[in-house]
């Protein structure tokens, strides 16, 4: 089968060191040997400082995650975060202050942290990845598997086959925690979820009020032989370039994002924010996400991104290959 892409292999370690770096490289090689493309390898730990973590793990290929950081610690460690090169983290808070500090001083860092609510442990995806126990988990870029599929059922069968292949590959490993079967899109064409929706359902806007998204999320939760982590539908407004086009057309408002996230998704992800957006408006959105996550006992997160220059009504200039530049709308 073609288009077998692992977005990330995430290894969790309470005491990270060279043994973990070596293990990640071995896991990557094992997957590549049987025909998977592996995009990233990541190491997640806890109770470390930004500087200390990068000093322990020097390999530039290995991305690092500190999981959930106390809000006050995040603020007091912000200068270390600015100087870090490979570290992501998340916070469980509705206070928008940290976001606006980053927007003002180091806007590129808005890409590397997120607000989380009811966040599960052991997802390999950044910035939500959180340490709970030693081991490793795997996350796919499964949108690509839909290429040449004529309908949704055919796509879901391909997903099932890849889940089983991952089980055959990794289940003998005693520290294999499972598969985060989240749908993680990227860029455009076969890698874009919006492209998938248009090919298999006909129209993104119309699909939002059908059971198309629910069928996918029900499948990835119920047919995953070893679920771990988030296991939901990611809607990265700017990483999925065709979703960015929907945003620019006004078809992916914050309300539609939250609506889709509530029944199938995982929250607000790489959503553009203007430097003149009001902090109190961001706080309102964060408090709503927190309340909905608690009410429905489901993970919801919010990752707003800014280039530090674009106001509402102006076009961004992220200089980031993973983010599509758009004209920013008000929240």
Tell me: the pLDDT tens digits for 290-304? 999 999 999 999 999
- Per-residue pLDDT, averaged over 101-130, amounts to 97
- Inform me whether the pLDDT recorded for 1 exceeds 80: no
- H helices present in the chain, as ranges: 18-33, 50-56, 71-76, 78-83, 97-105, 152-170, 193-200, 204-207, 212-222, 241-248, 254-263, 279-296
Listed in sequence order, the residues at least 6 apart from 63 whose beta carbon sits closer than 8 Å to its beta carbon are 40, 41, 42, 43, 86, 88, 126
Residue 321 lies in a domain: no
CB 190 within 8 A of CB 200: no
Average pLDDT, the chain: 97
- Per-residue pLDDT, averaged over 148-154, amounts to 96
CATH number where 153 lies: 3.20.70.20
- Per-residue pLDDT, averaged over 44-67, amounts to 96
- Looking at residue 202, its pLDDT comes to 87
Going by C-alpha positions, the residue among 20, 92, 81, 97 that lies closest to residue 56 is 20
Residue 181 lies in a domain: yes
- Per-residue pLDDT, averaged over 256-271, amounts to 96
Both structure tokens of 314: 């102006």
Q: 287 is in which domain, residue-wise? A: 5-305
Residue 317 lies in a domain: no
- Looking at residue 47, its pLDDT comes to 87
Phi, psi of 164, rounded to the nearest 5 degrees: -65, -35
Both structure tokens of 291: 């309340």
CA 100, 296, 224 angle in degrees (round to 5)?
A: 100
Instruction: Tell me the C-alpha distance between 312 and 301, whole Å.
Output: 22
- Inform me whether the pLDDT recorded for 165 exceeds 80: yes
- Per-residue pLDDT, averaged over 165-175, amounts to 97
- Inform me whether the pLDDT recorded for 49 exceeds 90: yes
- Inform me whether the pLDDT recorded for 43 exceeds 90: yes
Its pTM surpasses 0.85: yes
Phi, psi of 235, rounded to the nearest 5 degrees: -125, 70
CB 230 within 8 A of CB 125: yes
- Inform me whether the pLDDT recorded for 11 exceeds 90: yes
Residue 199 lies in a domain: yes
Residue 17 lies in a domain: yes
Residue 10 lies in a domain: yes
Q: If pLDDT is split at 50, 70 and 90, which confidence band does 2 have?
A: confident
- Looking at residue 282, its pLDDT comes to 98
As for how many domains the chain has, the answer is 1
Residue 315 lies in a domain: no
- Looking at residue 53, its pLDDT comes to 97
Residue 327 lies in a domain: no
């Amino acid at each position: 089968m073609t288009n077998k892409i692992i977005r990330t292999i995430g290894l969790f370690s309470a005491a990270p060191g060279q043994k973990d770096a070596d293990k990640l490289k071995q896991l990557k090689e094992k997957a590549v040997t049987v025909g998977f493309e592996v995009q990233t390898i990541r190491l997640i730990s806890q109770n470390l400082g930004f500087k200390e973590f990068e000093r322990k793990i020097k390999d530039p290929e290995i991305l690092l995650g500190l999981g959930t950081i106390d809000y006050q610690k995040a603020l007091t460690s912000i200068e270390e975060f600015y100087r870090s090169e490979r570290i992501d983290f998340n916070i469980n808070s509705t206070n928008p202050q940290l976001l606006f500090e980053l927007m003002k001083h180091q806007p590129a860092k808005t890409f590397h942290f997120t607000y989380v609510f009811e966040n599960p442990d052991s997802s390999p995806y950044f910035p939500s990845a959180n340490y709970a126990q030693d081991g490793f988990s795997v996350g796919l870029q499964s949108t690509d598997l839909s290429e040449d599929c004529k309908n949704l059922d055919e796509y879901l069968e391909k997903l099932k086959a890849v889940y089983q292949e991952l089980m055959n590959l990794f289940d003998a490993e005693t520290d294999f925690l499972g598969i985060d079967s989240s749908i993680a899109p990227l860029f455009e064409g076969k890698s874009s979820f919006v492209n998938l929706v248009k090919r298999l359902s006909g129209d993104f806007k119309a699909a939002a009020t059908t059971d198309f998204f629910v069928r996918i999320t029900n499948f990835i939760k119920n047919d995953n032989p070893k679920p771990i982590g988030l296991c939901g539908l990611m809607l990265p407004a700017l990483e999925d370039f065709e979703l960015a086009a929907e945003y620019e057309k006004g078809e992916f408002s914050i309300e539609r994002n939250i609506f889709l996230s509530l029944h199938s998704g995982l929250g607000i992800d790489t959503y553009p924010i203007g430097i003149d957006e009001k902090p109190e408006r961001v706080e309102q959105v964060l408090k709503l996400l927190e309340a909905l996550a608690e009410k429905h006992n489901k993970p919801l997160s919010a990752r707003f991104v800014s280039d530090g220059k674009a106001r509402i009504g102006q076009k961004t200039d992220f200089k980031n290959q993973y983010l599509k530049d758009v004209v920013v709308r008000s929240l």
